[in-house]
Structure 1
Amino acid sequence: MGLFIHIHLIAAIAWIGGSIFMFILGITLLDKEKQQQVYPVIGPIFGYFELVSIVVLLLTGTVMIVDNGLYHML
């Protein structure tokens, strides 16, 4: 379980940290022209990053549930 919990925590930190970054970016970029310059560049990168993070979270969470016999608790 040790490896999976570490990977799970790193993925959770990356997922939440990326969301906070985009939230702060949305608040600070009030100029529509700057938004049109930044979002097309950062948006796709952020989308793939968040997709990978959520897939890793789901996979490691499922593996930890099965490995520790916690499936019956669900």
Structure 2
Amino acid sequence: VVTAEPDPLLRDVFRRRAEEVGAPFHTLDAERLGHISVDAAGTRMILETDTWGELALHTPLIGAHQAMNTALAV
């Protein structure tokens, strides 16, 4: 399970269910995303990772919400 759910109560529901079925559980905190910019070419952002440090990412999908979607995919 991979989620960026900001509500701690809902995140707990996801965590418990993942434990019940033996699935790994990972969260992404919004604080790890920065420098989000959106233009006609898509959405750019910087993602801070534990493994690779800062990653400059781009998706052709337009919208600030696409930054979190892209980060979740990484």
Q: TM-score range by the shorter chain?
A: under 0.3
Q: Which has the higher contact order (CA 8 A, sep 6+)?
A: 1
More helix by share: 1
Q: TM-score, normalised by structure 2?
A: 0.26
Q: TM-score, normalised by structure 1?
A: 0.26
Larger radius of gyration between Structure 1 and Structure 2: 1
